[in-house]
Structure 1
Amino acid sequence: MPVRVMLVDDHEIVAAGLRVILQAEHDISVVGKASGVKEAVRRATELKPDVVLMDVKLSDGSGIDATKQIKEACPETQVLMLTVYDDQETVLKAVQAGAIGYVLKDIPPENLIRAIRSVHSDRTMINPVIARKLVERLAATERDAVLFNFRRGPGLTERELDVLKGVAAGLSDKEIALKLFLSEPTVKSHLRSVYQKLRIHNRAQAATYAAKNGLGT
């Protein structure tokens, strides 16, 4: 089955160009598009795409707000931000809203295709330069205070911590399973427990949480 992608961008020429690039791939199908928050949420709810390619600024508001609403209505849909904004605050808000990936519009087409396939497989895809800046910011401002609460609060088991560290390192479930000598279903079970205890929803949020608490190194 092809990856079903919905485009959300308020510039028609950008959306048209993206459609041409994506439709050239045999395993990707563009199933719809939207230019504003309300339209994006409505269309995503109707179409339930696998991946939404989302800009930050839309015709009637913020793509971050749209992301939050889409994730609430369609938890299985993954959101990949595609934008020109690379400031740490915007990236952090997007991840907190539920985006699993964040790339810039100067990304080469082949890398965008790779990013779409990655987020569809539930793997985090964040521009490396942005990711480094984000981790540095979190480390400088929040790590000490959050680490204390992290260790005392959620009550993760040692094995759940090991799985979380694997996610922070960018490993897939299969790679984590091999590293920890576990079955892949067991890793998925531990990860669901981590999500529940930390009140998060995807790997991007898990990786961000781990970085904030010094588990990503």
Structure 2
Amino acid sequence: MSKRITVFVQALDSISELGVLAALRIRPEVHIVDRQDADSDTIAVLVVDEIDDDAICLVKSTRAQGPRRVVLVASSLEDGGVFAAAEAGISGLARRKDVTADGLVQVISSVDRGAGVLPPDVVGSLLKQVSKLQHQTSTPRGQRYSGITDREADVLRLVSQGLDTNEIAQELSYSERTVKNTLHAINNRFNLRNRPHAVAYAIREGLI
């Protein structure tokens, strides 16, 4: 058997937390740990109703305390919440009513391999959102977005996986200033507003 994936589970309500723990504890693919034992290699599974301010605070505080990769399971996936969650650094997202124990383990495994996971219909909503933003930020001549450099593509790919500036710098062997300057250049060139907008652009252009 391959190495088990270390997982930490937390929910904003105790019933949801106990349910997810019960489903995952019997799975041979994962090893459940308590918060105090979670480290940077641990994948945090966070369960919420809505992706609201409390949920975003939970994501940020969890990542600040150790786990860099977060799988967010939410009952409601509104566009604004999805963008906020992406900006907060999630690596995977699942809709609570759609995800089974098998499906959750698949999401965890994909995140462990370095992938970013979103429900297909959420990707579609992101594309609609970026199309709307594109109309709002297009140049007077209607200039279309064009290609980007290899460095910019690499940075965008890692942003889409939920890595922060320091993690991207380590992954690509760049300085943090280089990563920040690269993102700033992308945002300026394509009239992008923030990291979620940049990720949506990268999805639309088939870069990730």
TM range (shorter): 0.5 to 0.7
Equivalent positions of 1:35-50 (< 5 A) are: 43=35, 47-48=38-39, 50=42
Q: Which runs of 5+ in 2 are unaligned?
A: 161-170, 185-193
- Is residue 189 of structure 1 aligned with residue 172 of structure 2? yes
- Give deviations 1:101-133, integer Å, cap 9, x for gaps: 111112122111100111122210111111211
Preserved CA contact (<8 Å) 1:80 1:99: yes
With normalisation by structure 2, the TM-score equals 0.66
The equivalent of 1:209 in structure 2 is: 198
- Is residue 11 of structure 1 aligned with residue 13 of structure 2? yes
In the superposition, relative to structure 1, how do residues 192 and 95 fare at CA in structure 2: closer, same or farther (>3 Å)?
A: farther
Distance 1:89 1:3 in 2: 30
1:198 partner letter: L
Residue 216 of structure 1 deviates from its aligned partner by 2.7
2:15 partner letter: I
The equivalent of 2:167 in structure 1 is: none
The equivalent of 1:182 in structure 2 is: none
Preserved CA contact (<8 Å) 2:110 2:116: yes
Q: Report percent identity of matched pairs.
A: 14
In the superposition, relative to structure 1, how do residues 17 and 55 fare at CA in structure 2: closer, same or farther (>3 Å)?
A: closer
- Give deviations 1:169-201, integer Å, cap 9, x for gaps: x9xxxxxxxxxxxxxxxxx538998855327xx
Residue 68 of structure 1 deviates from its aligned partner by 1.8
Preserved CA contact (<8 Å) 1:163 1:190: no
Give the total of aligned pairs.
174
Q: Specify which of 70, 73, 77 is matched with residue 62 of structure 2.
A: 70
Distance 1:20 1:143 in 2: 47
Q: Which runs of 5+ in 1 are unaligned?
A: 33-42, 171-187, 200-204
The equivalent of 2:31 in structure 1 is: 29
The equivalent of 1:198 in structure 2 is: 183
DSSP-derived class of the 1:126 partner: coil
DSSP-derived class of the 1:52 partner: strand
DSSP-derived class of the 2:114 partner: coil
In the superposition, relative to structure 1, how do residues 137 and 105 fare at CA in structure 2: closer, same or farther (>3 Å)?
A: same
In the superposition, relative to structure 1, how do residues 192 and 25 fare at CA in structure 2: closer, same or farther (>3 Å)?
A: farther
DSSP-derived class of the 2:33 partner: strand
- Give deviations 1:61-80, integer Å, cap 9, x for gaps: 61211212333343x52011
1:145 partner letter: T
Distance 2:174 2:120 in 1: 24
What is the aligned-residue RMSD (CA, Å)? 3.7
Distance 1:112 1:146 in 2: 39
Distance 1:140 1:51 in 2: 33
Q: Specify which of 90, 100, 122 is matched with residue 130 of structure 1.
A: 122
Distance 1:138 1:191 in 2: 28
Distance 2:19 2:85 in 1: 24
Higher helix share: 1
